[in-house]
Amino acid sequence: MALLADGASGPTVGRLLDRMRHSAFQGRKLGEAFEVWQRMIDGDGLICLGLAGSLASAGLAPLIAWLVERGYVDVIASTSANVTEDLLEARGARFFQVEPEHVDDQELWRRGFYRFYDHVVGSGDYDAMEDFTRDFFEDLAKRWAGPTLPGVRFMHEFGRWLDGQELGATLAATCFRHRVPLFVPAAPDGPLAEGYRTARAKGPVVDFFADYQIALEIMGRYMPPGPGTSAVFLGGGVPKDFLQITATSVKAIRGETGPSPHLAAIQITTDNAVFGGLGGASVASECISWGKEAVDGLNVMLFADVTIALPLLCQGLLERYGATHSRSARAAIQTELASILDT
């Protein structure tokens, strides 16, 4: 099967991914991921997205926001870093590339830089970003009268605040505007922890266990006999587990003998399955044993760098659907989720 473009004018990445679907190894899996994501978009089910790794510092945050804007994802579970570190460039910080094999980390520390493998950012810019989040906690303490709030509502209010700070391109602000639930189960594991520590007024207690109840209510409405749920995992970690264990809990709540799995799943990871971590546990095999993914589901395990695979997939989706496309199921899903989040 030839993989090279045929020289015709017009979009080429989507056609290339279609051809790769009929090749082999991870090229084939990339093509399968493109095919399955289209089927998710064309369907009526709920599309979940898990975000792990340093995606924001690597420049991928605009792609995630683009997926939200077009309705290609309906629910997000993320690490804390990926919903805060996109503030760096939005607030004017600059990243600089370095060669990881030759860089002197002691010298970076002396000169005031923090390193993300092959790129660095000024420690002053990063620390200022952490301090900037302090203002959100103080603002929330003034506005929120109750003693507690769920984590997903906490992130909604964070997005509202960022939008008001003219930082609307950030992921949290984009999720706020489009009423996309943003779950951050380990929110203190990142810059928000420093903002909380230094805030003069701490405000309401964030109830992360309430998040799971909300997530279960959402999943319970969409898992069969509903229109179904699917998931795209960029990396593994807590976001992947948070979205997957909802399937086992929905099954337990229903008391049924059969599982209530996601009907389709794509994972893009470089983790190796043989070391036992969840990040490498295949959505096409091991996860089925837990009832998290369907035995007959559209499950694609793609072993690739997210910084390579995601831009190709997004470009392919742009070419396939056009610049102004919005998912047809989006409006109904937004209305349904808003009724849950506003209760």
Catalytically annotated residues: 292
- DSSP assignments along 94-105, one per residue: -EEE--TTT--H
Instruction: Tell me the CA end-to-end span of the chain in Å, nearest whole number.
Output: 53
Instruction: Provide the 3-class DSSP secondary structure of residue 134.
Output: helix
Amino acid identity at 175 = C
Rounded Cα distance between 152 and 183, Å, is 5
The span from the CA of 119 to the CA of 131, in Å, is 22
What letters, b where the CB count within 10 A reaches 16 and e where it falls short, cover 141-180?
Answer: eeeeeeeebbbbbbbbbbbbbbbebebbebbbbbbbebbb
State how far the Cα of 332 lies from the Cα of 221, in Å rounded to an integer: 13
Residue for token pair 């919005």: 326
